[in-house]
C-alpha cells in the first residue's frame, strides 16, 4: 500500500526564510524519481531548482506560480510504495541546500511549447465590436504545454499588469514571450478607443483621467532579488560612512599587454581578469581594505583571503557573483571563473553560495559606456573599485601630447577601516599597474 509523504520547502541556506514559486516542473499524477527537480523557486539570492527527496507519484501541489512560501511550508505530496516508487518507498535522506544532491538523477520532463492553434471558423452570429487598440486573445495558444516564458521578470510584469500569458504569442525564438510582448499588451489595455467608435445611448463618454489615477502607475513589489538589493543598499548607506577618490590612468600599455598575451595562443585572457589580478596585488599591499567592521564588537576584522565579487547586470537585476580565493588564481583561472559565473548569472542558475561571502568588489561600469561613478559599497565589505570605459583621449606621454587609451578609476571605501592615505595609496598602486603592467612582476 502506498504511503503519502509530504515534502516541505527546505532551508535554502544563507539565512533565507522564504521563496517564490516561479515554475512547477511536475504535474499531479507524474511519477518522480528520488532527487528529481520538481519546482523552480526564486529566493532573494538566486533561482533554485528544488529536488524532491522521495520517489513516487505526485498527489498534490501547494501554491500557484507567483506564490511566496515560507521555509517549512508544504510544497507537494508524493505517494510512495512498491508500485509507485523507483526507490521502493525510500528517499534520498538529503536536506536541500539549494543545489540538488551529488549523486542524484537529474532527469526532468521537458515539454516543448505547443505551436499556435489556428482560430476556429467564426460563428454565424456577428461578433461584438471590439476596439482596434485592444489585443484580442489567441485561443488556446498554450493550452497543451507550458507557457514559453523564461524570465521571472516577464512573469511578474504580466501578473501585476493582469496579462494572461497563455493568450500571448511570443515574438522571441520558438514563440518565447519577451518583456516587450507583455509591455505591448499592457499598452493595448490602457490605449484609448478609436475616435470613430460608436457609443450606445446608455454609454457615457469616458471621463478624462484624474490626477490621482495618473500617479498610480505600475507598482512593483520590492521582493525577491530586487528586495534583497534594496535592503542591502539601504543598510550600506545607513551604516557605512563611505568616501570616494578617483584618478585617471593611461591604460594603453595594459591593453597592449593583453593583446600580446592573447596573440601567443592558449586561453584568451579577459580584461576583467587582469584588473582582478591588479586588485588582489593591491590588496596584498593594503590589506586594510580587505576587511569588514564588526559593529557589535566595535572591531575591524581584517581577512586573509580575497573573495572577489564583481557586479553583473542581468534581466533579474544587479547581482554580484563571487570568485573564491581570487588572490590564489592566475589570469587564466580568473578568466575561466568570470566566464562561468557570468553565464550562470545570465541564465539565472547562480546558487546562493555563488552570491555570498565576498570581501572586496570590482565594478566594471565602463561596459555601460560611462566614465565614472560613486557606487554604494556591497555591505558588509569595506571597499569597491570602479572602472570606467577605456577611450582614446589626449594625454601627455613622455613629455609630448598623444592620443592614449584612458580610463577613470574610482575607489569607494569605508572610512572606519582606513584613512585617505591608505585609500589613496591603494588607488595609486592600481593606476600604476594599469599604466605599467610590469609593476605587477614585483609582487609575483
Catalytic residue numbers?
415, 419
Phi/psi of residue 421, nearest 5 degrees: -65, -45
Classify residue 423 as exposed, middle or buried by CB count within 10 Å of its CB (0-12, 13-18, 19+). Answer: buried
Per-residue CA distances from 386 to 155, 284, 389, 415 (Å):
33, 18, 10, 17
Closest CA to 65 of 16, 105, 35, 22: 22
Per-residue CA distances from 321 to 10, 273, 362 (Å):
23, 14, 11
318: helix, coil or strand?
strand
H or E segment and range at residue 277: helix 271-285
- From CA 87, how far away is CA 63, in angstroms rounded? 26
Classify residue 131 as exposed, middle or buried by CB count within 10 Å of its CB (0-12, 13-18, 19+). Answer: exposed
Contact yes or no for 9/19 (Cβ under 8 A): yes
31-32 vs 291-294, strand pairing mode: unpaired
Buried b (16+ CB within 10 A) or exposed e, 334-353: bbebbeebbebbeebebbbb
* CB atoms near residue 258 (< 10 Å): 19
* β partners of residue 317: 314
Contact yes or no for 276/334 (Cβ under 8 A): yes
Contact yes or no for 408/390 (Cβ under 8 A): no
Amino acid at each position: 500500500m502506498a504511503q503519502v509523504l509530504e515534502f516541505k520547502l527546505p532551508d535554502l541556506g544563507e539565512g533565507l526564510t522564504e521563496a517564490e514559486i516561479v515554475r512547477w516542473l511536475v504535474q499531479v499524477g507524474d511519477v518522480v524519481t528520488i532527487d528529481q527537480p520538481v519546482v523552480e523557486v526564486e529566493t532573494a539570492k538566486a533561482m533554485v531548482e528544488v529536488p524532491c527527496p522521495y520517489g513516487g507519484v505526485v498527489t498534490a501541489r501547494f501554491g500557484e506560480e507567483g506564490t511566496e512560501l515560507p521555509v517549512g511550508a508544504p510544497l507537494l505530496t508524493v505517494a510512495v510504495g512498491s508500485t509507485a516508487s523507483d526507490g521502493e518507498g525510500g528517499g534520498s535522506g538529503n536536506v536541500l541546500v539549494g543545489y540538488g544532491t551529488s549523486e542524484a538523477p537529474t532527469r526532468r520532463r521537458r515539454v516543448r511549447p505547443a505551436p499556435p492553434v489556428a482560430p476556429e471558423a467564426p460563428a454565424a452570429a456577428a461578433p461584438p465590436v471590439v476596439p482596434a487598440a485592444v489585443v484580442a486573445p489567441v485561443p488556446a495558444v498554450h493550452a497543451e504545454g507550458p507557457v514559453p516564458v523564461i524570465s521571472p521578470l516577464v512573469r511578474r510584469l504580466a501578473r501585476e499588469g493582469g496579462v494572461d500569458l497563455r493568450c500571448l504569442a511570443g515574438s522571441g525564438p520558438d514563440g518565447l514571450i519577451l518583456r516587450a510582448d507583455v509591455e505591448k499588451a499592457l499598452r493595448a489595455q490602457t490605449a484609448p478607443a478609436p475616435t470613430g467608435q460608436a457609443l450606445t445611448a446608455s454609454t457615457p463618454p469616458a471621463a478624462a483621467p484624474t490626477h490621482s489615477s495618473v500617479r498610480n502607475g505600475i507598482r512593483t513589489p520590492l521582493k525577491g532579488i530586487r528586495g534583497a538589493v534594496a535592503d542591502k543598499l539601504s543598510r550600506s548607506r545607513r551604516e557605512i560612512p563611505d568616501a570616494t577618490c578617483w584618478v585617471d590612468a593611461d591604460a594603453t600599455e595594459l591593453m597592449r599587454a593583453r593583446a600580446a598575451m592573447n596573440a601567443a595562443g592558449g586561453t584568451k585572457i579577459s580584461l576583467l581578469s587582469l584588473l582582478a589580478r591588479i586588485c588582489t596585488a593591491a590588496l596584498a599591499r593594503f590589506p586594510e581594505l580587505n576587511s569588514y567592521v564588526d559593529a557589535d564588537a566595535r572591531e575591524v576584522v581584517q581577512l586573509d583571503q580575497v573573495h572577489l565579487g564583481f557586479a553583473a547586470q542581468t534581466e533579474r537585476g544587479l547581482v554580484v557573483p563571487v570568485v573564491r580565493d581570487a588572490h590564489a588564481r592566475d589570469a587564466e583561472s580568473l578568466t575561466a571563473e568570470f566566464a562561468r559565473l557570468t553565464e550562470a548569472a545570465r541564465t539565472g542558475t547562480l546558487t546562493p553560495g555563488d552570491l555570498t561571502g565576498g570581501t572586496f568588489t570590482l565594478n566594471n561600469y565602463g561596459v555601460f559606456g560611462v566614465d565614472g561613478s560613486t557606487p554604494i559599497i556591497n555591505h558588509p565589505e569595506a571597499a569597491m573599485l570602479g572602472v570606467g570605459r577605456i577611450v582614446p583621449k589626449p594625454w601627455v606621454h613622455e613629455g609630448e601630447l598623444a592620443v592614449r587609451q584612458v580610463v577613470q578609476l574610482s575607489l569607494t571605501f569605508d572610512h572606519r577601516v582606513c584613512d585617505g592615505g591608505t585609500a589613496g595609496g591603494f588607488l595609486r598602486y592600481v593606476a600604476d599597474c594599469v599604466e605599467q603592467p610590469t609593476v605587477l612582476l614585483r609582487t609575483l
